[in-house]
Chain A
């Protein structure tokens, strides 16, 4: 079974600084998707960024970027120029494209605090 591990239950960063959230995963598959979701206090899940395993280039979405290390099974999220609105729970997730079993496998999350 696939597992996703987020080793940082909580992180704190000063506004405008850069922070990196860690995620590792365990899988025997060669093709899969990885995601970072944000869950603010409203509890609405919001997709931040996604990465296809077959792509070597790291995904970037404005201030959010990932460091995808396939051999190490690592998928960290970097948030640049942190803003107060970035404060939320961040979940790393994994999914196998196609096939039988479906659905996302989530890590336990990292609570990100932004200090003004």
Chain B
């Protein structure tokens, strides 16, 4: 079945540690996105990539980094520079400039 997978579902991290969230898609989509969701808030765009080896900052990129070495994969690293990393993180993909973004099931990150 085609879709987007995110792992792990729940992630715990100690303060000061970097952590990487996985996102994989087998939809053959060129574009991939990372969003952050906080309680009572909508989703906010962290980073996006429209092609392999290229990515752009979204609205809240500070404290995050990404890579796009393969079309299918778009991992997000939450660095120790991110002041409030506890949140729900959603990955999405779409055809280039397509209408719909397809979302993964999300990763809940908690900083202890």
Contact = CB atoms under 8 A, between A and B. Distances in A.
Interface stretch (B19-27, B65-73, B96-104): B96-104
Contacts of B58: 103
B68 to A, nearest CB: 13
A50 B99 CA distance: 8
Of A9, A91, A103, which is in contact with the most chain B CB atoms at under 10 Å from its CB? Answer: A103
B16 to A, nearest CB: 27
Contact of A102 (B41, B56, B106): B56
B42 A109 contact: yes
B43 A104 contact: yes
A9 B39 CA distance: 12
A33 B56 contact: no
Residues of B contacting A: mostly: strand
B100 A47 contact: yes
B78 interface: no
Contact of A106 (B43, B99, B106): B43
Interface of A: 4, 9, 33, 35, 42-45, 47, 50, 52, 91, 93, 97-98, 101-109
Interface of B: 31, 33, 35, 40-45, 48, 50, 56, 58, 88, 90, 92, 97, 99-101, 103, 105-106
Given A47-B100, A102-B50, A103-B48, 4 more contacts: A33-B99, A102-B56, A104-B35, A106-B43
